[in-house]
Amino acid sequence: MHKCCNPDCKNETNNPKFCSRSCAATFNNKKHPKRKGKKHICRICGIEVPNRRTLCDKHNPQIINWLKLTLKDIIYNYNQNYGASNKYTRIRDHSKNTYENSTRPKHCEKCGYKHHYHVCHIKPIHMFDLDTPISIINDLNNLMALCPNCHWELDNGLFAPSRN
């Protein structure tokens, strides 16, 4: 019988070094600690940022303030700044995030289908004035979850949405 090489353990073992894997890991992690990650800083202002980022939230051009952004800003700048193929894509993406982060039901509000739903606008995006903020367009009172079939029916005027 051999004595375990871990000084904190006094067990006898048939193994020439350690009595168990956890005992070996405890000993080796103390002897060879893991590397600490280097700090990442913003290239512009020099404050510390989370891992793998080079810019802070203030200087990151991809972070959008949806409270100030208007429909006109999206329509006239979509090719340059937002990288979307459709001028309303970013608005729809924001509406999905807004709905997902709410407490609204995550199923079709008309028929109750639970496997897949679309987040759709009750008042369509194109009917808003150009100076309307995106936060108004994507307000929860203007969003509703519908399955693809019910969404098609809404878009083609076969039913009018109603809130309880």
Helix (H) or strand (E) holding 13: strand 12-13
Q: What is the pLDDT of residue 100?
A: 93
Is the pLDDT reported for residue 81 higher than 60?
no
Q: In the block, which residue shows the tokens 């994507």?
A: 138
**Does residue 25 carry a pLDDT above 60?**
yes
Q: 125-140: buried (b, 16+ CB within 10 Å) or exposed (e) per residue?
A: beebeeeebbeebbee
Res. 83: pLDDT tops 60: no
Task: Please determine, for residue 79, whether its predicted confidence score (pLDDT) is greater than 70.
Answer: no
Asked whether residue 160 carries a pLDDT value surpassing 90, the answer given is no
- Of all residues in the chain, the percent with pLDDT exceeding 90 is 37
For the full predicted model, state whether its pTM sits above 0.85: no
Mean pLDDT in residue range 21-39: 84
pLDDT per residue over 43-68, tens digit each? 999 999 988 888 888 888 777 777 78
Domain definitions of the chain by residue range: 2-31, 37-61, 71-155
**Residue 143 in contact with residue 119, Cβ under 8 Å?**
yes
The Cα–Cα gap between 90 and 22 comes to: 50
